[in-house]
Amino acid sequence: MYIDTHCHLSKEYYDDIDQIIEEDKNALVDKIIISGCEKNNIYEVIDFIHKYDIAYATIGYHPDQIDLIKPGDLEILENLIKTNKKIVGIGEIGLDYHYCNDNNTKIKQKMLFEQQLTLAEKLSLPVVIHSRDATKDTIEILKKYHLSGIIHCFSGSLETANVYINMGYKLGIGGVLTFKNSKLYEVVEKIPLTSIVLETDSPYLTPEPYRGKQNSSKYIPLIAKKISDIKNISLDQVSEITIKSCYDLFDLNK
């Protein structure tokens, strides 16, 4: 069995959601955590967690939503979390400086990030962190809070990995690990399996040998296999330990 800790399930990407869920189950992916991180898709994600037993969600406002956020939106987030038991965390939230070179936007992103971290502390929920070209600021901000969670789509150095791990975070590892010459290879080899959780980030970042095609949670076993090869351990061990980490982080018994 496997858990996909991060996917973007939406009718925007997939014609037949029922079929996608069936395929996930057939691939032994028995839980998926959908990231509802855009203002206009959060309600669709909530529909899915009610409709499909295997589906859970984290919700939050992604840094690229910064110009859409209005006063009152954080209260909406809080109310949705309190009234939907299968929302098990806040995310993906964080900082994305990739297309951002003005300081004002960075300041606004940091403020939104901190407001949501404060909410996570208040509700005692784990967080799913999106950090792109913003490692230094992300670490600095996370140090101010006492939270657990996942560094989604981790792509940094071994040194950065260890900083996050020492702060109590798990690293979300996905399809990038299967790409030729992936820098993640060394990181995965050297960090403990207990600090790794599996994710697809589907429909993006499809693992080899399907790179270039549409991704979905059914490909999680390919990522698990790659980890078992790199760490020279059994696939069962990868399954067992990563699932335990997910249950340690998220309340998935609902």
CB of 201: closest distance to Ni ion in angstroms? 5
Nearer to Ni ion, 35 or 242 (CB): 35
Nearer to Ni ion, 228 or 242 (CB): 242
Nearer to Ni ion, 24 or 201 (CB): 201
In the range 66-85, which residues lie near Ni ion by CB under 5 A?
Answer: none
CB of 3: closest distance to Ni ion in angstroms? 15
CB of 71: closest distance to Ni ion in angstroms? 26
Between vectors from CA 156 to CA 153 and to CA 160, what angle results, nearest 5°? 115
> What's the alpha-carbon Rg for the chain, to the nearest Å?
17
Nearer to Ni ion, 173 or 228 (CB): 173
CB of 37: closest distance to Ni ion in angstroms? 7
Tally of CA atoms within 13 A in the half-sphere of 162 that contains its CB? 8
Give me the 19-38 binding string for Ni ion, x by CB under 5 A, dash otherwise.
----------------x---
CB of 204: closest distance to Ni ion in angstroms? 7
- C-alpha distances (whole Å) from 249 to each of 148, 207, 241 are 7, 25, 13
Calpha distance 138→117 (Å, rounded): 12
How many residues belong to the site for Ni ion (CB under 5 A)? Answer: 2
Distance, first Cα to last Cα, the chain: 18
- Between strands 196-198 and 55-59, the pairing is unpaired
Give me the 155-194 binding string for Ni ion, x by CB under 5 A, dash otherwise.
----------------------------------------
Calpha distance 54→31 (Å, rounded): 5
CB of 237: closest distance to Ni ion in angstroms? 26
Nearer to Ni ion, 33 or 228 (CB): 33
Other CB atoms within 10 Å distance of the CB of residue 83: 9
In the range 193-252, which residues lie near Ni ion by CB under 5 A?
Answer: 201
Residue indicated by tokens 């014609």: 15
Calpha distance 222→43 (Å, rounded): 30
Residues at the interface with Ni ion (CB under 5 A):
35, 201
